[in-house]
Amino acid sequence: MSELSRSGILPLPEIALGCMSLPENFSEAEKILHKALDSGITFFDTADMYQKGKSEDNLGRALKAKRSQVLISTKVGNQWNSSGTAWSWNPRKAYILKAIEESLKRLRTDYLDLYQLHGGTLDDPWQDTLEAFEILKEQGKICAFGISSIRPNVIRKVMAMNPPATIMMQYNPLDRRPEEEVFPLLEKTETRVLVRGALAKGILLDKPLTGFLDIPKEKVAEIKAEIHRLGFSPEAVLIRYGLMEKAIGSLVIGASSIEQVEKITKGYEESQAVPDELIQELKRKFSPNLYQDHR
């Protein structure tokens, strides 16, 4: 397990609950969050832009009494305009130092376990951005910082300047782009990947078939059929698929209902019985897709 805390002794759990899809209604969101906590999930990931801050507010209200028992991560960089009708990208130090105060207030805490930049390009003022995170660490307002990026060129640049604790990116059998360069780079370091999209938006579970990235619908159907043929729930297979990678620390899996939380926790428990060879066979059977841009 990776470690992430002020003192370096709290483990980073293999499963985190993604809060982007939580209901805006507090009572409904609270039930889902408490179900997750009661089921053993102690890592919660959100962002200041989700529901214009409502996601953070609901998370903070629901878990305030349990703060010492959980890890909380949020993201920054997307700044809403004054009317709340659109947002713009703002990775500058001054904005980050201001935005965290609002996030802390909504989350009802005086520190974050992880604070992530919610995107990034090569043209961003990275020195300025990274200075903001270092200031927040020195102030005790964050334990660690991360970035959310799928771009190999951005990841290489940040790793060379000031390696973050985590990098969030998509990874699943329909998006294997990180295998080519990013995973080999990060597994040699202490930086760990937070995976989003581990369940491929449900397409490999029970949602209607569609194409995914550059993979046509017909190929998605083949991959889905193979996953369902393996003798385990598709959730278990997909969770094991992600956690087998050395560079990965946690899978951030979203839920919008208690039933989905139950499927996640059951799938995680079952995933521990999925043989590595089954996953390796699945990977060998289908060629990985590659990055075409941002190389």
3-state secondary structure of 114: strand
- Rounded Cα–Cα distance for residues 233 and 120 (Å): 35
Contacts of 30 (CB under 8 A, 6+ apart): 58, 61, 62
Contacts of 127 (CB under 8 A, 6+ apart): 161
Active site residue 50: yes
136 and 142 Cβ atoms separated by less than 8 Å: yes
194 and 182 Cβ atoms separated by less than 8 Å: no
26 and 58 Cβ atoms separated by less than 8 Å: yes
Q: Cα-flanking dihedrals φ and ψ of residue 118, to 5°?
A: -90, 55
Please provide the DSSP assignment of 182-236 as one string: HHHHHTTSS-EEEEE-TTGGGTTTTSPP--BTTB-HHHHHHHHHHHHHSSS-HHH
- Rounded Cα–Cα distance for residues 135 and 138 (Å): 5
- Rounded Cα–Cα distance for residues 256 and 156 (Å): 34
> What is the residue type of 78?
N
Q: Which of 50, 115, 171, 268 is an active site residue?
A: 50
Query: Nearest to residue 76, comparing CAs of 99, 108, 44?
Result: 99
Residues forming the active site:
50
